[in-house]
C-alpha cells in the first residue's frame, strides 16, 4: 500500500488466523539494514516495544557472541508472532535481510497466525514490489553471486510484502507518529492472540451475543456496565471469558480480575485488586500502598484509556467507588462487566444493566456431558438413555455436567447405574444439591488424593506446583499421580501460567468438607485458611493436634506481637 505515515496500519491480507498461534519466546521480529536505520527509527521502535513489555527480537540484542546468525534466525522467525521489516534503500543489498524476509513470507503463507507489518522507510513501495530504483542495482549484484532459485525467492518475498498495507515514511511525516501507530497496531494484534483460555464453549453463542448487545459496543457516548448474576455452576465465568475473547481487540487496554470475592476477603484485598488493575493496564509491576493511592493512580493513569474491565465473582462487599474510584472519571468508550452469585451485589454498581444466564438446554447439556463422559459430542446409542438421566439430575448446570461426566469416564455400566441412584437421591433431599453432586467425585478419591485436593482448595489456588510437589512427597503422598487424577476428574487444572486453578464451587466443596470436621471450632479442623481464625486461635492458645496447616499473612501489621509456640498444637 502506498500511504502516508499518518495512515493507520492493518494486518496483511492473506490466510486467516489459525487457532494454532506461534508460542515461542518472541512476539515481534524486527528486520532492518544499516547503522542509520538502527540508530534512528529501529532503535526508537524497539525501545517503545520494550517499554510496553513486548518481547522483541533484533540481532544486536538477541544473538549471543559467536552464535551463527542463520541458526538463530531459523528459530527466532517462526517463533515470533509479528514481523516488522523496515524496508530502507539499503535493505535489498543485504542477503541476510532478504533471507529473513523470505522466511517471514513463508511463515505467513502457512496460515498459522503470523502477521507482517511492513514499514517503507524512505523508499517507494513500487520500487520494493518491482525491484526498481536502489533495489534494481542490488538485485543485479545478487544475480551474479546467488542461484536463480534463491534470487527468485527473494523477488517473490519483496513482491508480496510490497503489496501489503503498511506505513510509508517520508521527509514530510514525523517518525515518532509512525512508531506510536505501529506500537498501537502491535498491541491490538497481540490482544487478539492472547485470549483467555476457556474450554467449555458448548451452547455459548447466544448468551455471548446477548451480552455484547447490552454492552452497546458501537456507541462511545457513555460508559456501559453489565452485571451477570445467577447461581453457582451456571457458567458465568465461561461466558465472560468468551465475551472477553470476542471483544478485547476493540479496546486500548483490557483487565480481567478473577475471584474478586476471595480477594476482598483478605486483609489487603482492596489494594490487591487495585494493584492488579494498575499493573495490567499500565504493563508494569506495581504494588499500591494504600486505598487512596490506588484510587488516585487509577484516576490519573488508567481512566484515560478505552478500557475493558471484567470483575468475576463479586459479592455485596464490592464497592465500585472505594476500589476503582468514580465511574465518571473513566473514558466514555470503556466497558465494565461484573459477575456474581448474588443479584443484590449489583445494587451497589451504578447504572448496571442486568443479565441472568439461562440453564443449559437439554440438547447442549447432553453434548457437554458426552464430551466428558465419552470424549465425543453424542453418547453411544446403547448409553443414550442413561446419559439422559444424568443430564436431568445435573439440571442444566455446566459445572455439574462436566464433573459428573469426567467422573464416569471409562467406568463400568454397573458403576454408572449405582451413581445415578445416588445422584437422584441427592437431588430430591439435599439443601445444597450442587455441592453434594460434586462430592461424589471427591468420595471416590484415594486418601492421599483427598489430602492433596483439600490442601489445594484451602490454600494453594494460584500457587506454582514445584515446591508443593516436594511438600506432598515429604508427607508420603504421590503428587504426580494425585494431580493427574484431580485433573482427569475435572476437579482442578493448571492455568496458562502453570498455577493451580479450581472453579470456585470446587474450592467451596473442599472447604465445606474441612468445616464438617468441626462446625463450631475452627481450631479443631485439619486446615485453617482464614487468617482471622488463625489469629484468634494463636491469641487464645486454643490450637489442637488436629490442626495440620494454618494460613499466616506475613504482611499483616498489628500493634501486638503474636507468639507462635508448638504447645498451641
Burial class for 202, CB neighbours closer than 10 Å (0-12, 13-18, 19+): buried
Average pLDDT of the segment spanning 148-155: 93
Average pLDDT, the chain: 84
Active-site pick, 100, 153, 155, 449: 100
- Here the contacts of 463-472 (C-beta below 8 Å, separation 24 or greater) are 463/499, 463/500, 464/498, 464/499, 465/494, 465/498, 465/499, 465/500, 468/500
**CB-based contacts of 450: which residues, under 8 Å, 6+ apart?**
442
500: left (phi over 0), alpha (psi -120 to 50) or beta: beta
- Distance of alpha carbon 259 from alpha carbon 257, whole angstroms: 7
- Here the contacts of 282-286 (C-beta below 8 Å, separation 24 or greater) are 283/52, 283/53, 284/53
Match 538502527 to its residue by C-alpha cell.
38
Average pLDDT of the segment spanning 172-181: 83
Looking at the chain, the number of H-run helices and the number of E-run strands are 25, 15
Query: Per-residue pLDDT tens for 395-450?
Result: 888 888 988 999 898 889 999 999 999 888 876 665 666 788 888 889 889 999 99
Match 512508531 to its residue by C-alpha cell.
179
442 contacts 489 by C-beta, under 8 angstroms: no
- Distance of alpha carbon 73 from alpha carbon 103, whole angstroms: 9
Rounded percentage of the chain residues whose pLDDT exceeds 90: 42
The cell numbers describing 128, all together, are: 520494493
Q: Does the pLDDT value for residue 35 go beyond 60?
A: yes
Closest to 85 (Cα-Cα) out of 45, 131, 54, 112: 45
Query: Per-residue pLDDT tens for 246-298?
Result: 898 888 889 999 889 888 888 888 999 999 999 988 888 889 999 999 999 99
- Binning pLDDT at 50, 70 and 90, where does residue 342 land? confident
105 contacts 160 by C-beta, under 8 angstroms: yes
Query: Per-residue pLDDT tens for 463-499?
Result: 998 889 999 999 999 999 999 989 888 889 888 778 9
Predicted TM-score (pTM) above 0.75: no
Whether 100 is catalytic? yes
Burial code of 500-539, b = ≥16 C-beta within 10 A, e = fewer?
Answer: bbbbbbbbbbbbebbeeeeeeebbbbbbbbbbebbbebbe
**CB-based contacts of 151: which residues, under 8 Å, 6+ apart?**
139, 142, 143
**CB-based contacts of 92: which residues, under 8 Å, 6+ apart?**
98, 131, 134, 135, 138, 139, 154, 158
The cell numbers describing 6, all together, are: 499518518
Amino acid at each position: 500500500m502506498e500511504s502516508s505515515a499518518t495512515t493507520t496500519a492493518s494486518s496483511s491480507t492473506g490466510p486467516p488466523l489459525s487457532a494454532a498461534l506461534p508460542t515461542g519466546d518472541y512476539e515481534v521480529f524486527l528486520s532492518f539494514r544499516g547503522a542509520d536505520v538502527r540508530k534512528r527509527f529501529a532503535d526508537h521502535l524497539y525501545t517503545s516495544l520494550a517499554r510496553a513489555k513486548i518481547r522483541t527480537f533484533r540481532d544486536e540484542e538477541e544473538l549471543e557472541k559467536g552464535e551463527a546468525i542463520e541458526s538463530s534466525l531459523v528459530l527466532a522467525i517462526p517463533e515470533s508472532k509479528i514481523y516488522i521489516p523496515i524496508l530502507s534503500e539499503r535493505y535489498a543489498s543485504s542477503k541476510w535481510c532478504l533471507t529473513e524476509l523470505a522466511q517471514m513470507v513463508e511463515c505467513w503463507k502457512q496460515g498459522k497466525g503470523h502477521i507482517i507489518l511492513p514499514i517503507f522507510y524512505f523508499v517507494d513501495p513500487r520500487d520494493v514490489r518491482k525491484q526498481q530504483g536502489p533495489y534494481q542495482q542490488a538485485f543485479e549484484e545478487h544475480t551474479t553471486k546467488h542461484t536463480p532459485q534463491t534470487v527468485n525467492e527473494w523477488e517473490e518475498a519483496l513482491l508480496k510484502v510490497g503489496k501489503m498495507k503498511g506505513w510509508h515514511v517520508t521527509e514530510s511525516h514525523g517518525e515518532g507518529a509512525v512508531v506510536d501507530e505501529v506500537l498501537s497496531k502491535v498491541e491490538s494484534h497481540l490482544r487478539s492472540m492472547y485470549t483467555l483460555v476457556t474450554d467449555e464453549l458448548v451452547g455459548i453463542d447466544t448468551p455471548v451475543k446477548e451480552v455484547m448487545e447490552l454492552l452497546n459496543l458501537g456507541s462511545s457516548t457513555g460508559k456501559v456496565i453489565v452485571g451477570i448474576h445467577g447461581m453457582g455452576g451456571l457458567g458465568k465465568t465461561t461466558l465472560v471469558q468468551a465475551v472477553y475473547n470476542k471483544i478485547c481487540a476493540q479496546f486500548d487496554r483490557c483487565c480481567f480480575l478473577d475471584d474478586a470475592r476471595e480477594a476482598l476477603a483478605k486483609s489487603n484485598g482492596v489494594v490487591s485488586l487495585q494493584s492488579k488493575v494498575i499493573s495490567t493496564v499500565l504493563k508494569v509491576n506495581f504494588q499500591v500502598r494504600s486505598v487512596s493511592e490506588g484510587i488516585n493512580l487509577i484516576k490519573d493513569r488508567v481512566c484515560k484509556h478505552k478500557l475493558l474491565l471484567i470483575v468475576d465473582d463479586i459479592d455485596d462487599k464490592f464497592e465500585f467507588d472505594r476500589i476503582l474510584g468514580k465511574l465518571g472519571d473513566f473514558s466514555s468508550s470503556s466497558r465494565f462487566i461484573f459477575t456474581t452469585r448474588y443479584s443484590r451485589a449489583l445494587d451497589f454498581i451504578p447504572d448496571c444493566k442486568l443479565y441472568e444466564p439461562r440453564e443449559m438446554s437439554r440438547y447442549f447439556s447432553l453434548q457437554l456431558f458426552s464430551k466428558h463422559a465419552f470424549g465425543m459430542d453424542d453418547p453411544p446409542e446403547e448409553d443414550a438413555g442413561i446419559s439422559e438421566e444424568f443430564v436431568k439430575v445435573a439440571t442444566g448446570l455446566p459445572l455439574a455436567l462436566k464433573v459428573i461426566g469426567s467422573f464416569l469416564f471409562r467406568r463400568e455400566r454397573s458403576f454408572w447405574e449405582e451413581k445415578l441412584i445416588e445422584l437422584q437421591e441427592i437431588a430430591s433431599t439435599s439443601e445444597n444439591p450442587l455441592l453434594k453432586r460434586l462430592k461424589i467425585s471427591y468420595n471416590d478419591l484415594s486418601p492421599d488424593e483427598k489430602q492433596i485436593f483439600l490442601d489445594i482448595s484451602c490454600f494453594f489456588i494460584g500457587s506454582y506446583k514445584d515446591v508443593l510437589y516436594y511438600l506432598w512427597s515429604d508427607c508420603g503422598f504421590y503428587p504426580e499421580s494425585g494431580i493427574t487424577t484431580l485433573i482427569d476428574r475435572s476437579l482442578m487444572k493448571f492455568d496458562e501460567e502453570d498455577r493451580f486453578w479450581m472453579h470456585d464451587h470446587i474450592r467451596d466443596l473442599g472447604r465445606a468438607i474441612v468445616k464438617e470436621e468441626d462446625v463450631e471450632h475452627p481450631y479443631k479442623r485439619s486446615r485453617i485458611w482464614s487468617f482471622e481464625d488463625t489469629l484468634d486461635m494463636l491469641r487464645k492458645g486454643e490450637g489442637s493436634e488436629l490442626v495440620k496447616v494454618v494460613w499466616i499473612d506475613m504482611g499483616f501489621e498489628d500493634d501486638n506481637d503474636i507468639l507462635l509456640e508448638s504447645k498451641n498444637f
